[in-house]
Structure formats: C-alpha cells, structure tokens
A and B are shown apart, each in its own frame.
Chain A
C-alpha cells in the first residue's frame, strides 16, 4: 500500500513539473523564446504518460506486495538534514570557517553512536573553544 502511494506521488510530480512549466511559459509573449522549453515540456509529458502506463500495468500484474521494505533511518537522515540547513542559514552570520568547524563538531557529537569515543574526541575541542571567549569575537571572511 505504501509503495502504491509513493508511486502515485511520483506520477503526480512527473506530471506537475511540465504542466507548471508550461503554465509559467504562457506569460512570455515572444514565441521564439519559449519554443524550445515548450517542446521539452511536451516530451516530459509524453514520458510521464508512458511511466504512468508502466506503473498501472505493473499493479495489474501483481497486486499484492510481498515482503517488508528495508528499514530507513529516517531520524538520522532528518537530523543530518536539519543540521545542514542550520549550517547553510547561519553561514553568513557566523562566517564560513567558524561555521564549518562548528558544523563538524556538532554533527560528530549528534550523529556518532552513543558511547562512541568519537563523541569525546569531538567534545574536547568544543569545550576548549567555548571556554576561550577571545575566539568568538574573531571576524571571518563571510561575516565581514
């Protein structure tokens, strides 16, 4: 059931991209400027139709999905994604080098397995860094 849902979402996205692009191209008045992307969108729609047909055909062949899908480490991936987003967003404020260093430390601390010696290895320099107030006032290339 879960597989059918993801396949449906996939088909919807495959149709949505060219349809949305065609809608955006409608606002362009100069025909020649939108000719090439128009053709690309039509071709994408053709591929989306073929794919949808293939998927529906496969459903008819074997309706029951056998076996459990492999477990996906959702929590770990979500945490990594969150850390990356924080890293990108804070880069301009914190500065490239400092932000990269902090990202390295925090990621090592958060994503290392519990009890791993790597946690202590990462925690030591971060503790030293936090106890050194002068370093936090250093200016970095990105922060100007």
Chain B
C-alpha cells in the first residue's frame, strides 16, 4: 500500500501532469474526429515518446488511449458515426437523445459514465496484474510460444472480416517479422532490398498499417455531407446528468463489470464490450422497450463498459506480452522502443516505471472526465475539422513519426509500402490488427520455439515438450476454442444473411 501511494504521488510532477492534460485533450480531439481511430492516434504518438523518459512516455500514451476511447462518444452522439469501434453501441441511444435536443446531456452522461467505468477498470488492473505476473513467471519456452500463438489467433479470429483472412493476416505478420538477420543464427532471411537488412522496425510498421489506410479512407469519403447536430451549452444540465448517472447505478455496475471481463480477454475489444453491455442492459432494464429511443441508461451502460475495458486490456500485455487489443499492441510498441519487454520482468526490474504508469491511469481517468465535459461544450469545433486537413496532418505526422525513430528514410518507405499494402488488403476485408499482432509476437514465438526445440531435443522430444503438459494443453485448447468460436460465429452470421434472401 505504501509503495502504491509512492507511485501514485510520483504521477504528480509538473511534467507528468502537463503530459496527462495534453494527452487527454489531444486524445479527446482525435477520438472525436471521425475517421481517426484510437489505435492510429496512439500509433502516431509513439515516436514522440522516443526521446522522453520511459515513465513520461507511457503516462502520455496511457492518457491518450483512455481519452480517445471516451472521445469517440462525441461523434457517435452528434453525427451518428462512432469515433472509435468501441462507441458503436453509444449511437443506439446517444444519437436519438441528440435528435430530441438532449445532445449536451448525452455527452455529459457519456463522459461521467466513462469516468466511473474507467476507474473500475484501472482498479482491476492494479489488483490483478501482480498475481497474473507471478503466474507468468512459471512459464517456460513452450508455454510462451503457445501464448504468442494464442495472442495472434484470438485477435485474428475476432477482428477481421472472415476468420481465414484474419488468421492468414496473423501468419503474414509473423512471416514479415522474420525479415532481416536472425538473432540466434545470424542468417539473413527475405532480404531482397538493402533497406530490409535490419528487419522491419515495429514503429514504422505500426504507423503504416494503421495510419496510411485511414488516410486513403479519408480521401475516399472527402466531400460527403454529414448531418451534424450542434447545441448551445445550458445551465443546470451537468447537475442533471450527474444525478441521472447516480440514479442509474445498476447500469454503471453492469457496464463496468462487462467491460472489465471483456477487456481482460485478449482480442475481444471495446466494440464487443459495448454491444454486450447494451444487450445485458436490455435484460435488466425496467423499460426495455424504450431502449434505442434515446434514454440515458443506454448511454450509461455502453460508455461505462467501453472505458472499463481499457485497464484490463493491459493485463495480458504487461504480464505476458500478449496485447489484449490492437491499441494495447501499439502501446507495446511504446514499451519496446524504450527497451522494456513486457512480461514478469516489468514488475521486478522496472517496477517503478510499470507501477507509475498503472497508477497514472487513475489520474488520466479524472482528466478525461473533467476535460471531456469541458470539451463537449465546444464539440462542434472538433467536428468541423475537414477530412482533407486531417488526412494531410496524419500523413505528415506519420512520416515524421517513422523518420524520427532511426532518422532513416528507409523506415518512411517501409511504413508507406506496408500501409499501401494494408489499404489494398482492407478493400478485401483483411484487417490490420492480426498483421500487427503477428509482427509483434512473431519474434517472441520464434525465439521461444528455437529455445524450446533445443530443450526438447535434449530431453522429451519435440511433440511431448510442446504439446503435452497441463499449461500447454490449456493454451492449445484456448487457441482452438477461439478459432472454433470465430468460425461458429461466422457460420451463424452467414446463416442469418442467407435466410432473409431465401425468404424473399
């Protein structure tokens, strides 16, 4: 407890407070800008943290991550376009509220419930991370190998248009992680151009895979007319929203618990959390027939859930190096550029950095709540930023970010080529998240595979070492379950889409 207080107090240095405020305001703006995802926002920011102290950089990234998820509610409510995938379910009741002239109240409700949910999620992160890290300390090469495969398979199955394409994308990510010199044997692989000798750096790849496709998507949608709702801030609405939030404590608790559970499952993500919370709220609501017509409880349940998943999504990342969501994968890039490798070592060797980062998330939640409410009043300014201005700014930032990591134009070209490839892939339902996960977890899988092979050949044999043993069997089972579940979901969806056609 004493240590925890020490780390908490360490968050209140002038620089960290400034970074948190800046990150929160910037994050809300980026989240509120339609077309820019939280993942892309964090990916663009990672290179800026390169020259900072690791703690400062992580504090900034944590604040941005929290704020972008909450900021996405602004566009979901005012223009019926989710700022982030996590805000899809916010539209169901948020936008009808705006149509009824209650946009200001809906925004306040969104930020207040995000604050409560976010705090709940961070509390779970603080409580559960150390025991999970202790458990991860027992893992050997075979378990770590399977954990890496699980990380890729679970995101591949859940985040893509089709399961097979998701899994193919994950494998492709792992394949491109092999480019360059093998660290164990010193052999060059897939080096068909000089710029690839050092392999593909994670930061340019992250920026390219997440930012470039979005730039082109912005170019595509340029000139589209959107029906924007604006409002003038009125007195007493905030007080009303606070009372309403407290009155719907059941929805707050439900949303927070659902978001926390979903967040801790690698790959599930905020959109799933929001949709499940909305669905569960329908079951406990006194007036379920009113949901979807613009009622407060719909916004409260969804917003508390999508922000409560932020903290738990970091548990598998910090303890085992398995990012729980695409944004967590980008945050992992932020750790790696500072030489911090996720895993149990973060809680022993770099405990000060890790715990200060985790405790700073509490302060970031309050910053998000306060600045979110203030910025809500001027949200029409945020939404008036044109697609053209955004796509030019993102391109320049992407180039700057890729170049600044190693001061190399090669990284800029790698970023652009991967981004262009991903844009073409996205047109055929390929998703960036599995490729990024494969790229990040590929070296972890290969390293542990090589080490495991040496151990296996001197003892049990390859099959026994990798495929037997309780932990191995559990993780293999989880891999199969996640893939099987995704295939089942896809078949079910296909059945649903075929039936109406047949009936017609």
Q: Mark A29-61, 1 if CB is under 8 A from B, else 0.
A: 010111111001101100110110010000000
Closest Cβ of chain A to B104, distance in Å, is 30
CB within 8 Å for A30 and B392 given contacts A91-B412, A92-B409: no
- Chain A residues lying within 8 Å of B420, measured Cβ to Cβ, are 81
**Which among A14, A34, A107, A111 is the interface contact of B189 at CB below 8 angstroms?**
A34
Q: B223: which of A25, A28, A92, A113 is its contact (CB, 8 Å)? A: A113
Complex contact B399–A88 (CB within 8 A): yes
Q: Could you tell me which residues of chain B, from 400 to 417, have a CB within 8 Å of some CB in chain A?
A: 400, 403, 409, 412-413, 416
What is the CA–CA distance of A34 and B219 in the complex, to the nearest angstrom? 41
- A37 near B178: Cβ-Cβ < 8 Å: yes
**Count, A-B residue pairs, CB within 8 A:** 113
Is the CB of B395 closer than 8 A to any CB of chain A?
yes
Cβ distance A2 to chain B, nearest Cβ, rounded Å: 13
The smallest C-beta distance from A48 to any residue of chain B, in angstroms, reads 7
Which residue of A is nearest B428, CB measured? A10
Whether a CB of chain A sits under 8 angstroms from the CB of B285 is: no
- Is A30 within 8 A of B187, CB to CB? yes
Q: Is the CB of A76 within 8 A of B446?
A: no
| Interface footprint category on A | 35 or more
B395 engages A87 (CB within 8 Å):
yes
Contact partner, A100, options B389, B391, B396, B450, Cβ 8 Å: B396
How many residues of B are counted as interface, with CB atoms below 8 angstroms from the partner's CB atoms? 44
8 Å CB contact of B168 from A47, A73, A118: A47
Q: Give A51 to B430 CA distance when docked, in angstroms.
A: 12
Is A84 engaged at the interface, CB distance under 8 Å to the other chain? yes
Q: State in angstroms the CA–CA spacing of A91 and B398 once bound together.
A: 14
Which residues of B have CB within 8 Å of A48? 168
Q: Which residues of B contact A12 (CB under 8 A)?
A: none
B171→A47 contact, CB < 8 A: yes
B246 within 8 A of A: no
**Residues in chain A near residue B172, CB distance under 8 A:** 17, 44
B16 interface contact, C-beta 8 A: no
By a CB distance below 8 angstroms, the chain B residues around A35 are 449, 453
User: Contact between A96 and B400 (Cβ–Cβ < 8 Å)?
Assistant: yes
A104 touches B164 (CB 8 A): no
- Tell me if B9 counts as interface (CB < 8 A to partner A): no
Pair B395/A36 contact, Cβ less than 8 Å? no
Q: How far is the CA of A35 from the CA of B453 in the complex (A)?
A: 11
B52 within 8 A of A: no
The verdict on A134 contacting chain B, using a C-beta distance below 8 Å, is no
Chain A residue numbers with a CB within 8 Å of B416 are 84, 88
Let me know if B449 and A36 touch, CB within 8 A. Answer: yes
- The listed residue (A32, A44, A96, A111) touching B222 by CB distance below 8 A is A111
* Interface pair B168/A51, CB less than 8 Å apart: yes
A91 cross-chain contacts in B, Cβ below 8 A: 399, 409, 412
Q: In the complex, which residues of chain A have a beta carbon less than 8 angstroms from the beta carbon of B396?
A: 100, 103-104
Q: From residue A58, how far is it (CB to closest CB) to chain B in Å?
A: 10
For residue B413, which residue of chain A has the nearest CB? A88
Q: With A37-B190, A47-B167, A104-B392 given, can you name 15 additional A-B contacts, CB distance below 8 Å? A: A24-B192, A32-B185, A43-B171, A44-B172, A48-B168, A50-B164, A72-B220, A77-B220, A80-B215, A88-B409, A100-B396, A100-B399, A103-B396, A107-B392, A111-B388
Q: What are some 12 contacts across the A-B interface (CB < 8 A)?
A: A14-B168, A17-B175, A33-B185, A41-B175, A43-B171, A44-B175, A51-B164, A77-B220, A80-B215, A84-B416, A88-B413, A107-B391
Q: Which are the 4 A-B pairs with shortest beta-carbon distances?
A: A33-B187, A33-B185, A47-B168, A80-B219
Q: Which residues of A contact B (CB under 8 A)?
A: 6, 10, 14, 17-18, 21, 24-25, 28, 30, 32-37, 40-41, 43-44, 47-48, 50-51, 54, 72-73, 76-77, 80-81, 84, 87-88, 91-92, 96, 100, 103-104, 107-108, 111-113, 118
Residues of B at under 8 Å CB distance from A?
A: 162, 164-165, 167-168, 171-172, 174-175, 178, 182, 184-185, 187, 189-190, 192, 215-216, 219-220, 222-223, 386, 388-389, 391-392, 395-396, 399-400, 403, 409, 412-413, 416, 420, 428, 445-446, 449-450, 453
